[in-house]
Amino acid sequence: MTPRLSAEIQRLYRSPGAMNAPGEATLGLVDSDGRVRAMVVSLSGPADWSLLSAVWRGVQIDLELPAPAIAVNGLDAYELWFSLAVPVPQAQALAFLQGLRQRYLPDVKPHRVGLRPSHDGVASTAVIPAAQGDSGNWSAFVAPDLAAVFGDEPLLDLPPGEDAQAELLGRLKCIVPSAFEAALGQLPVAAHALAPDVSGPASVAHGPSVKARYEDPRLFLQDIMNDASVPVASRIEAARALLGC
């Protein structure tokens, strides 16, 4: 990977302090503190840009977020790569991804939609661009006006130019915290988390930090989840409410 392309991936997707390792096959999405900077939504079985493009357009038009990168994974899926300017707790990242799926892909069978990181522990994603074994096919980031031309074969049969890949990524912007918070509040899962039933176990939490932020239910739940003095069962209930479980 050229220094220019590596620098763009570092700028957009790597956690602070994480560096490129030569020959690495995967990019970690959850850091040692359980925080997330990059998120990926994919669509396969079959790959269909006409469906995934609804997410790409919607986050820009409805949620007023910068455009995510578009990628073909060299195998069977289109991908959207989201970049956060500041890493967020994994629970918020999961809520965001689930919210996007519910809002923009509600009728797509769940097994076709990949969300990374995921509820079932997937905490990395394949590095792009990369060769796909001995197939001769490659994954790559692609321009919006070229995404549709791949049809149901989301791959390149030649290695993409790394300078061109860097140029594509260089046009992208990270999602700033205020924009992410605003978008999260508009998504279905997040909306559920913003109006939880706090009459159950989660309501036993106490302390000045919780009381001062009680008017914002989401922050209230985050305080409970992160407060070591709160019983574990209550912290689990708070996490479930945040995730819309």
Q: Do 145 and 199 belong together in one domain?
A: no
Looking at residue 235, its pLDDT comes to 59
Looking at residue 1, its pLDDT comes to 87
| C-alpha pair distances (Å), 44 with each of 15, 38, 74, 185, 245 | 27, 20, 11, 28, 25
Q: Do 216 and 99 belong together in one domain?
A: no
Residue 183 included in any domain: no
Residue 129 included in any domain: yes
Domain holding 143, by residue range, is: 3-177
Is residue 44 a contact partner of residue 30, using CB atoms and an 8 Å limit? no
Residue 182 included in any domain: no
Is residue 70 a contact partner of residue 136, using CB atoms and an 8 Å limit? no
Residue 185 included in any domain: no
Q: Do 73 and 21 belong together in one domain?
A: yes
Q: DSSP label at 34?
A: S
Higher local confidence (pLDDT), 187 or 229: 187
Higher local confidence (pLDDT), 56 or 193: 56
* pLDDT tens-digit series, residues 184-222: 999 987 554 444 444 344 333 344 443 344 445 666 666
Q: Do 80 and 150 belong together in one domain?
A: yes
Looking at residue 188, its pLDDT comes to 86
Lowest mean pLDDT among 49-63, 67-81, 101-115, 225-239: 225-239
Measured between alpha carbons, how far is 44 from 51 in angstroms, rounded to an integer? 10
H or E stretch at 72: strand 69-72
Q: Do 61 and 111 belong together in one domain?
A: yes
Q: Do 169 and 199 belong together in one domain?
A: no
Looking at residue 108, its pLDDT comes to 96
Q: Do 122 and 233 belong together in one domain?
A: no
Q: Do 122 and 215 belong together in one domain?
A: no
Domain count of the fold of the chain: 2
Looking at residue 156, its pLDDT comes to 96
Average pLDDT, the chain: 85
Q: Do 106 and 211 belong together in one domain?
A: no
Which of 119, 149, 177 is where one domain is finished? 177
pLDDT at 115 over 90: yes
Q: Do 160 and 234 belong together in one domain?
A: no
Lowest mean pLDDT among 82-91, 94-103, 151-160, 230-239: 230-239
Q: Do 150 and 122 belong together in one domain?
A: yes
The rounded percent of the chain whose pLDDT value lies above 70 is: 75
Helix axes 90-104, 177-186, angle to 10 degrees: 50
